[in-house]
Structure 1
Amino acid sequence: MSHNVYVFLAEGFEEIEAIGTIDLLRRAGLPTHIVAVGIEPHVRGAHGVAIEADLSISEVYSADAIALVLPGGLPGVTNLEGSQRLRQLIQEANQEGKLLCAICAAPSVYGKAGLLEGKEAIAYPGFEGHLQGAKVSAQPVVRSANFITAKSAGYTFDFALAIIEALQGKAKADEVASAIVYAR
């Protein structure tokens, strides 16, 4: 049975969105794996913070996943889009009804792939035009079908808690929020 959450990092990712989300998902007890989209296991964020990935993208299969997570940041999102393997994993996961999550500029990856058609979604201001076929939400974090999208780094905790709620229920999300003294 699939049970892994995969967070994909490409050079230039937004550190707050990646690290904050990974941290909260792990606090919830979700098996969360950092995946390097490039060749190197060390991935440098948009602001110079380097992270060592747990896995290479070649080691990830959609059948093993319950959720795929894309942090934003530039040029991170451009580098995510450039990964043929990631695009393949996203298509497979979507066909299997897996949870697909993205924050900031990253929802554009799903939009450009035509996966947001008829769904509600949000992205970083100025990236809404890349949410092809979606109804752009006024909410900073939105769940629509098997997609969770969020507006920006400022909503990282809300984004991560929405993922926890989708996978483990509201009580678990509230427990994690309470443990970090965060009011939702």
Structure 2
Amino acid sequence: MAKVYEFLANGFEEVEALAPVDILRRGGIEVKMVSVTGSNLVESSHGVVVKADLLFENITDFSDADLLMLPGGMPGSKNLNEHEGVRNALKAQFEKGKRVAAICAAPLVLASVGLLKGKKATIYPGMESYLGEDAEYTGALVQEDENVTTGAGPAASFPYGYQLLSYFLPAEKVEEIKKGMIYDRLLNS
């Protein structure tokens, strides 16, 4: 079974954190939300408190991860970027050719550790400069380039989550989950 870790810092964006976790878990993927705050309770950018599954400091390494992902939001993305352990885990994951993903403002973390060099990427509109000169900003809702996936913001949470799920399940199963979540009705409204 695939294993995914999502890092949570105070100030994260709720839908960007929880929609992908929900989608992946519906697909049978093991997802662990990891707090980088020193507490299992992490407060979102809108004052919603979420209980993380694990504390960062209690994990020796993330070598069993198939995917490491970051929700956006401010100051959550800035807080993730300031966490040396998160930065090191992302670099190690990327260097092994394994998947990393970030949505909204969080691609700035990937850029700051050099993971977007020569990559196509997206980020929340108006934050393009945070991708750095070495990334190609596409403006897409969801952008994949090799082992890096980025999303543009809250509205991208569902297509981003389904894209991540598609790395672990056949297309028919992903479509079945989309249908069960009536995602097709959203697209056709």
> Above 0.5 in TM-score?
yes
Identify the residue that residue 146 of structure 2 maps to in structure 1.
Answer: 145
1:21 aligns with 2:16: no
Q: Aligned with 2:34: secondary structure?
A: strand
* Residue type of the alignment partner of 1:173: V
Identify the residue that residue 122 of structure 1 maps to in structure 2.
Answer: 122
Equivalent positions of 1:66-105 (< 5 A) are 66-105=66-105
CA distance in 2, matches of 1:39, 1:14: 19
List structure 1 runs of 4+ shifted beyond 4 angstroms: none
Q: Aligned with 1:64: secondary structure?
A: coil
Report sequence identity in percent: 36
Give, in angstroms, the shift of residue 3 of structure 1: 3.1
Q: How well do the aligned residues superpose, as a CA RMSD in angstroms?
A: 1.3
* Residue type of the alignment partner of 2:177: V
Deviations 1:74-114 (CA, angstroms, capped at 9, x unpaired)? 01001101111101100110011111010000011001111
CA distance in 1, matches of 2:56, 2:171: 30
Residues 11 and 137 (structure 1 numbering): CA distance in 2 closer, same or farther, change over 3 Å? Answer: same
Identify the residue that residue 11 of structure 2 maps to in structure 1.
Answer: 12
Structure 2 length-normalised TM: 0.93
Give, in angstroms, the shift of residue 175 of structure 1: 1.6
8 Å Cα contact 1:8/1:37 also seen in 2: yes
CA distance in 2, matches of 1:145, 1:48: 35
1:36 aligns with 2:42: no
8 Å Cα contact 2:69/2:100 also seen in 1: yes
Identify the residue that residue 56 of structure 1 maps to in structure 2.
Answer: 55
CA distance in 1, matches of 2:21, 2:96: 23
CA distance in 2, matches of 1:73, 1:138: 18
Give, in angstroms, the shift of residue 59 of structure 1: 3.4
* Residue type of the alignment partner of 1:93: Q
8 Å Cα contact 1:70/1:101 also seen in 2: yes
Q: Aligned with 2:168: secondary structure?
A: helix
8 Å Cα contact 2:139/2:152 also seen in 1: no
Give 5+ residue unaligned stretches, structure 1: none
8 Å Cα contact 1:164/1:172 also seen in 2: no
8 Å Cα contact 1:42/1:50 also seen in 2: yes
Q: Aligned with 2:39: secondary structure?
A: coil
Identify the residue that residue 177 of structure 2 maps to in structure 1.
Answer: 176
* Residue type of the alignment partner of 1:182: Y
Using the TM superposition, name which of 51-60 and 95-104 deviates more.
51-60
Q: Aligned with 2:74: secondary structure?
A: coil
